[in-house]
Amino acid sequence: MVQSLNPGSNPASSKIASERIRRKSEARRLDILRAAARVFRRSGVAAAGMREIAEEADLSPGNLYYYFAGKDELLFFCQDRTLDRMLAAAAAARASTIPVVDQLRAVIGAHLHYTLDELEGATAHLEIDMLADDLRRGIIDKRDQYEHAVRALITKGVKRGEFAPCDAALVARAILGALNWTVRWYRPDGAQSVAAIAEGLANYLLRGIAAAPQEPTEPVRAVSGGRK
Amino acid sequence: MVQSLNPGSNPASSKIASERIRRKSEARRLDILRAAARVFRRSGVAAAGMREIAEEADLSPGNLYYYFAGKDELLFFCQDRTLDRMLAAAAAARASTIPVVDQLRAVIGAHLHYTLDELEGATAHLEIDMLADDLRRGIIDKRDQYEHAVRALITKGVKRGEFAPCDAALVARAILGALNWTVRWYRPDGAQSVAAIAEGLANYLLRGIAAAPQEPTEPVRAVSGGRK
């Protein structure tokens, strides 16, 4: 191998340097996505402008456009990242050997964490109508994959006798609706933490499909051990 | 009373005529709202334009502006009408003497009917961020009233022992989320009717709060009478 006196042209160090630049650019892109998500949440996606997002990210508008071609692209990456994480959480849950009810509980927790705690998700997660057709198609595909993963967990739980027989597709949509709707009412400065909301929602949503040894035939006087 | 030879200036017949004009104008406004709702559903609220809505309503753009000042006002009336109907359904349910679980079931059915069957509701029901501040405030107030009505039904059911103890506010939001999310996936040409979706969702959502004489302590082998 020919040694060069110019370290910049040394293939190894040049690779390290370009890797450093790549990582730095990736980190900057993430910062920008988080700033965009804050603006989307504050102003609504429709009203949010690239100028406002640039200000929030502490960039000049020109600099912002260097990283993202437009609001569409920002919205796409916010949604795409969130869906990738939720899909990974669903795959991990599905591959585990814990009871299905706990697998679904883990998916519910991850879903709320990624859409409420992680700023990139949030409001932007819902606004797919605003994406151009080609970007939207990719997001819709991932959403469908995710919905199928949730449905498959429910079907597995029914098969194993952990869940009562049910319309798995409808229940999956009901669960996802309840989870996605949190974006509309959750406030970071509200009374309940995301973890507490996740627990409360999981308890309610899982109770609705839990296998029951016997159904109550009439209203009951005393309730023992009702999961809150 | 002075009789006039000009029937138009007769106060009684003039009142009838103006009532007729009012009713006609009201019917025309309703037709326009339905047309707007179809466009909102088809194109998304953000992308929908007054020109497209005018075409859908078979009006010239100028004529459309005679009835509604803009997209904002159309969106407002779509939402306002839907909320009025849902509030009326909740009030009727609350005033009835049927079991609370059936009161809540009636509210769920009405909610889906007004947002899925009645075109005015639909997508527009969700897009409150797009309203100007003063219009949005009125809609948010009515939504809050409606959410409180649903929450009050749950609290009443818990008090009567029909429902298990629960976080009524969180459960109300979960139910409303599951219901509102249908707007995102329901297709009029889909496999299930609105009534079938309402029944399936109500069964699942009410099962999650039903009082149970005893909680299963371990996964059960056979499931008897699991409500589908």
pLDDT band for B16, please (50, 70, 90 cuts). confident
* Residue B208 contacts A, CB cutoff 8 Å: yes
Kindly compute the dihedral angle of the four CA atoms of residues B118, B124, B126, B130, in this order, to the nearest 10 degrees: -160
Token couple for B34? 């339905």
Question: Which has more confidence, A18 or B180?
Answer: B180
Burial of A173: CB neighbours in 10 Å, binned 0-12, 13-18, 19+: buried
ipTM of the complex: 0.79
pLDDT of amino acid B166: 95
pLDDT at B125 over 80: no
pLDDT of amino acid A177: 96
Q: What is the pTM of this model?
A: 0.80
Residue A178 to residue B177, Cβ atoms within 8 A: yes
Helix B71-95 to helix B100-112 angle (10° resolution) is 160
Measured between beta carbons, the chain B residues lying within 8 angstroms of A195 are none
Q: How remote is the C-alpha of A32 from its chain's centroid?
A: 17
In this prediction, residues B37-44 reach a mean pLDDT of 82
Residue B176 to residue A181, Cβ atoms within 8 A: yes
DSSP B159-192: HTTSB----HHHHHHHHHHHHHHHHHH--TTSSS
pLDDT at A156 over 70: yes
CATH architecture, domain defined by A10-207: Orthogonal Bundle (1.10)
> Percentage of chain B with pLDDT > 70?
83
- Residue at B141: amino acid letter: D
Least confident of A118-132, B64-78, B99-113, B121-135: A118-132
Name the residue in chain B with its Cα closest to that of A176.
Answer: B178
pLDDT band for A227, please (50, 70, 90 cuts). very low
Q: Which sequence spans correspond to the domains of chain A? A: 10-207
Question: Which has more confidence, B124 or A88?
Answer: A88
pLDDT of amino acid B18: 82
pLDDT band for A224, please (50, 70, 90 cuts). very low
Residue A178 to residue B181, Cβ atoms within 8 A: yes
In this prediction, residues B23-40 reach a mean pLDDT of 86
Q: Which residues contact B50 (CB under 8 A, 6 or more apart)?
A: B61, B64, B65, B70, B71
pLDDT tens for B157-169 read 999 999 999 999 9
Q: How remote is the C-alpha of A95 from its chain's centroid?
A: 19
Q: How far is CA A59 from CA A42, A56, A66, B168, in A?
A: 19, 8, 10, 44
| A100/B177 Cα distance (integer angstroms) | 24
Measured between beta carbons, the chain A residues lying within 8 angstroms of B161 are 219-223
| A100/A105 Cα distance (integer angstroms) | 8
Measured between beta carbons, the chain B residues lying within 8 angstroms of A200 are 167, 170
Question: Which has more confidence, A83 or A217?
Answer: A83
Question: Sign of the C-alpha dihedral, residues B82, B85, B88, B90?
Answer: negative
pLDDT tens for A157-173 read 999 999 999 999 999 99
Token couple for B205? 């959502």
Question: Which has more confidence, A20 or A5?
Answer: A20
| A133/A126 Cα distance (integer angstroms) | 16
Q: How far is CA A4 from CA A7, A11, A14, A21, in A?
A: 7, 9, 12, 22
Question: Sign of the C-alpha dihedral, residues B45, B48, B54, B57?
Answer: negative
Token couple for A96? 């585990």
Residue B215 to residue A197, Cβ atoms within 8 A: no
Q: What is the DSSP letter of A228?
A: -
> Percentage of chain A with pLDDT > 70?
83
Residue B173 to residue A185, Cβ atoms within 8 A: yes
